[in-house]
Amino acid sequence: MAGKRRYEDGCAFAQGLDVVGERWALLVVRELMFGPKRFSDLKSDLTGIATNVLTQRLTDLEAAGVISRRDLPPPTRGRVYALTDWGRELAPVIEVMGRWSARNPRLQFGWPLSVSAAMMSLGSMFDPSRAEGVEAALQFDFGGELFAVTVADRRLRVDPGRHPAPQVTVTGDQNELLPVLYAGMPVAEAEANGLAVEGDREVLRRFATLFPMPDPAPLPVTAT
Amino acid sequence: MAGKRRYEDGCAFAQGLDVVGERWALLVVRELMFGPKRFSDLKSDLTGIATNVLTQRLTDLEAAGVISRRDLPPPTRGRVYALTDWGRELAPVIEVMGRWSARNPRLQFGWPLSVSAAMMSLGSMFDPSRAEGVEAALQFDFGGELFAVTVADRRLRVDPGRHPAPQVTVTGDQNELLPVLYAGMPVAEAEANGLAVEGDREVLRRFATLFPMPDPAPLPVTAT
DNA sequence: CCGAATCCTGTCCGATACTG
DNA sequence: CAGTATCGGACAGGATTCGG
């Protein structure tokens, strides 16, 4: 419940911060972006979140209309949390802010990304102007979570589930793939690191050129 | 300073939240979007912020490279805070999130908007598809803060300062103009409320059709 | 075992008073 | 004008416990 600390500001943006501006809230949304999850999945994907905080966020986000909870039918007992249509419309917010954050001069590359974070980052970093004439159909399998990724008509699609006709299939840990996309690591090196690539490696290599990293912003002139 | 509570998440988006995800941070950025401001201006435009919190945010945002502080040359004693180039790139983040928030089913219209909030909302709500063939040149004067607003080539520009050749000039309180843009209030009614309109009222009337309000998202099925 | 409620502790926020 | 000092209270973080 909570005493609901709010900005009393007529600005819709500020009222949006009242809904999803609290700590962890947008990360919960990010984790649900590709489909419903259970409490324990959220807890393990959001490393560091406390159970009571997660409970609180789920309660608040449901009350606001951003997510909904559903009880699973037997035999799979349990409940899952899913974005509402309105909640799913936060995807551009996450993508645009992710793109801004890519210029963070203090960006850290050491920490791992969750599967959802890695897949959302594709939409953030995709550059349509580089996709002229590119057609690609990829399937990713990150520990059993499948994604169908398609580039066509200068657009990128990232859908949960199996791809009907992939040209290349990538299986392994998402954190082994990301250096190929964002740091120019050769595909062969990622394979040596444990990533399994089946099919047309050239499609993956070409795909990896569509996600340019922007230059980092300047650090402040720390007069400390 | 401070023990800097951080998500230790490799996701650039999450690291962006580490920079501008704290309470009030993005509202400070919003207030600086059209030019530098002094501490006391920020304090009065952000109704409800405590001075120590504002100090803390300005310190943190400067350390992160989002804003910079400059001491004014004599005779105007004092210092001002300005966005860095990287900080200015947060404009799309605020606009996209503002657009999402416009569908908030609990959106409150009672509270006033600051001048910067009102001007940022134009960029959020502008619909290019409605601006086909529209050319408009407006000047707004909100208590001495001037803005040059231009629609041309299906694009909207909102710049601080005087417009070189306005077709219509609006003077008064920004909160008297907004119902004309977002709630279909007739220009004449806003004038009766105290807004001063000089020049071609038809330009303003046409301008007001470019900012459609989306349907609110459904409220959750409160099964309390 | 999953989802959540309940401690307790530490940090951050909010409001006001005060100072260079 | 531009902050600092102070303090109560709200919220986050972590561990433990409870109910289905």
CATH for B105: 3.30.1050.10
Residues B65 and B105 in one domain: no
> Which structural domain, as residue segments, surrounds residue B146?
94-210
> Which member of A65, A101, A114 has the closest CB to residue B105?
A65
| Confidence (pLDDT) at B78 | 80
pLDDT confidence of residue A223:
55
Structure-token pair, residue A25: 């809230």
A154 and A113 in one domain? Answer: yes
pLDDT in tens, A19-29: 999 999 999 99
Angle at A97 between CA A92 and CA A83, to 5 degrees: 45
When comparing pLDDT for B193 and A3, which is higher? B193
- Interchain pair B217, A84: CB under 8 A: yes
Decide which of B115 and B77 is more confident.
Answer: B115
Task: Say if residue A75's pLDDT is above 60.
Answer: no
Domain closes at, from A89, A116, A133: A89
DSSP letter for each residue of B17-86 = HHHH-STTHHHHHHHHTTS-EEHHHHHHHSTT--HHHHHHHHHHHHHHTSEEEEEPPTTS-SEEEEE-HH
Distance CA(A76)–CA(A34), nearest Å, equals 20
* pTM (2 d.p.): 0.94
Q: Is the CB of A44 under 7 A from strand C?
A: no
Same domain, A102 and A175: yes
Amino acid letter for position B88:
R
* Residues whose CB falls within 8 Å of the CB of residue B55, separated by 6 or more in sequence, listed in order: none
Q: Do A84 and A98 belong to one domain?
A: no
Residue A218 lies in a domain: no
Find which nucleotide's C1' atom is closest to A55's CA. C4
Percent above pLDDT 90 for chain A: 79
Whether the pLDDT of residue A51 is over 50: the answer is yes
| Pair (B30, B60) in one structural domain | yes
B24 CA to chain A: closest CA distance, Å?
A: 9
pLDDT tens digits for range A137-196: 999 999 999 999 999 999 999 999 999 999 999 999 999 999 999 999 999 999 999 999
pLDDT at residue A81 greater than cutoff 50:
yes
In the sheet with B67-71, reading across from the earlier edge strand, the strands are B37-38, B79-83, B67-71
Does residue B114 sit in the same domain as residue B174? yes
What's the pLDDT band for B51 if we cut at 50, 70, 90? very high
Residue nearest to nucleotide C5 (CA to C1'): A52
| B22 and B37 fall within a common domain | yes
Bases on strand C under 7 Å from any protein CB: 1-7, 11-17
Q: Is the domain of A202 the same as that of A160?
A: yes
| Residues B29, B84 within the same domain | yes
pLDDT of the residue at B74: 64
Per-residue pLDDT band at B8 (split at 50, 70, 90): confident
Query: Within a domain: residue A215?
Result: no
Closest CA to A97 of A69, A124, A65: A124
Number of domains in chain A: 2
Of A89, A124, A157, at which residue does a domain stop? Answer: A89
Q: For residue A79, name the pLDDT band (cuts at 50, 70, 90).
A: confident
Nearest by CB to residue B27, choosing from A7, A102, A124, is A7
Whether A195 contacts A177, CB under 8 Å: yes
In a domain, A41, yes or no: yes
pLDDT score at A78: 75
Based on the fold, state whether residues B206 and B98 are members of the same structural domain: yes
Q: pLDDT tens across B21-48, in order? A: 999 999 999 999 999 999 999 999 999 8
- Whether residue B219 is predicted with pLDDT greater than 80 in this model: the reply is yes
Query: Is A1 inside a domain boundary?
Result: no
Which residue in A21, A63, A107 is closest to B220 by CB distance? A63
Kindly give, in sequence order, each residue whose CB lies less than 8 Å from that of residue B12, ignoring residues fewer than 6 positions away. Answer: A98, A101, A102, A104, A107, A121, A124
Q: Buried (b) or exposed (e) across B187-210, using 16+ Cβ within 10 A? A: beebbeeebebeebeebbebbbeb
| Together in a domain, A180 and A72 | no
Q: What is the predicted pLDDT for the residue at B165?
A: 96
Please check whether residues A141 and A204 belong to one and the same domain: yes
Check which CATH number belongs to the domain holding B34 and give it: 1.10.10.10
Of A89, A104, A136, the residue at which a domain comes to its end is A89
Q: Is residue A25 part of a domain?
A: yes
Q: Residue B48, CB, less than 7 Å from strand C?
A: yes
What is the average pLDDT score of chain B? 93
Closest approach of chain A CAs to the CA of B43, in angstroms? 14
- Please check whether residue A187 lies inside any domain of the structure: yes
Mean pLDDT score, B192-210: 97
Domain contains B60: yes
Residue A130 lies in a domain: yes
User: CA–C1' distance A176–D9 (Å)?
Assistant: 46
Better-predicted residue by pLDDT, A221 or A139: A139
